Amino acid sequence: MLNVDELVAIDVHTHAEKSCRLPTDEEAAEMEAAKAKYFKNTFGQPTVSEVAAYYRERKMACVIFPVDGELATGMRAVPNDEVAEEVAKNSDVMIPFASIDPRRGKLGVKEARRLIEEYGVKGFKFHPSVQAFYPNDPMAYPLYEVIAEYKLPALFHTGQTGIGAGMPGGGGVRLKYSNPMHIDDVAADFPDMPIIMAHPSFPWQEEALSVATHKPSVYIDLSGWSPKYFPQILVQYANGLLKHKMLFGSDFPLITPDRWLEDFAKLPIKDEVRQLILKDNAVKLLGLKG
């Protein structure tokens, strides 16, 4: 189990990208190459256990998840069961989230409940652009109902994505689905489901800040960008009005926490706010202590 007092930080946004059970997906090679180029990723695709070792060495914990984009892209993700089982072996540094495409319908709803009850997953990851759905599409609401029933957080990608960037047609990935204003409806309709909007939401940063300010259940993780590129208004809100709503996230292995933290140290963030962002806000949101 996590010993929160011994952790220096909690990264709420890391990816399970390599399965130890599924064969290599050759169709994903072009997409993975484009993604690595966009993020200048030299770390590769570690297994879940390798991610655990990386964070354990740094005295950090991480939330880890796959992204179920198979229906829209044809590419298989690391199975939720595999992620949960590997996290259980590394529960001193890892927190399991699952990912289910809402278009899986009733089967997806049953799967969500099974993953919560049998594997103890602590939240769910959605990527509207990769999964090709609007977060406020009623199609997704039965799945949200299960997540809200257990009062677990739902983490949504927002803003531009590096997935498909530079490929012809962006690899078919459409940015329109990830406007954070679509999440405002979800937050209004599911007030018992905490929502994490992932990433600085370029080009909709002010929309994201507005939603997080207006809806008590909505948080922002700061993953996917080096902090040196954060817009000034994001830093301003992190330092003040939303200091209890900002979360450290890296997007590992696409961006390493080492790189992120080095650049974060150079931002004009108040000392008491740094502690909130790096650990305390996540502890409270995820119910990790008390």
Instruction: State the pLDDT at residue 28.
Output: 61
Instruction: State the pLDDT at residue 290.
Output: 52
Question: Residue 63 is encoded by which pair of tokens?
Answer: 């939330």
Question: Residue 37 is encoded by which pair of tokens?
Answer: 């180029």
Instruction: State the pLDDT at residue 23.
Output: 64
Enclosing domain of residue 215: 4-286
Q: How many domains does the chain have?
A: 1
* 3-class secondary-structure state, position 179: coil
Instruction: State the pLDDT at residue 34.
Output: 59
* 3-class secondary-structure state, position 133: coil
CATH number of the domain bearing residue 210: 3.20.20.140
Q: Report the distance separating Cα 238 and Cα 270, nearest Å.
A: 9
Q: Which residues of the chain have pLDDT under 50?
A: none
Instruction: State the pLDDT at residue 75.
Output: 83
Contact 193, 152 (CB under 8 A): yes
Question: Residue 195 is encoded by which pair of tokens?
Answer: 């929502």
* 3-class secondary-structure state, position 86: helix
Q: What are residue 189's DSSP bridge partners?
A: none
Q: Report the distance separating Cα 68 and Cα 284, nearest Å.
A: 27
Cα–Cα distances in Å, from 290 out to 11, 63, 210, 215, 283? Answer: 20, 19, 30, 24, 9
* pTM attached to this predicted model: 0.93
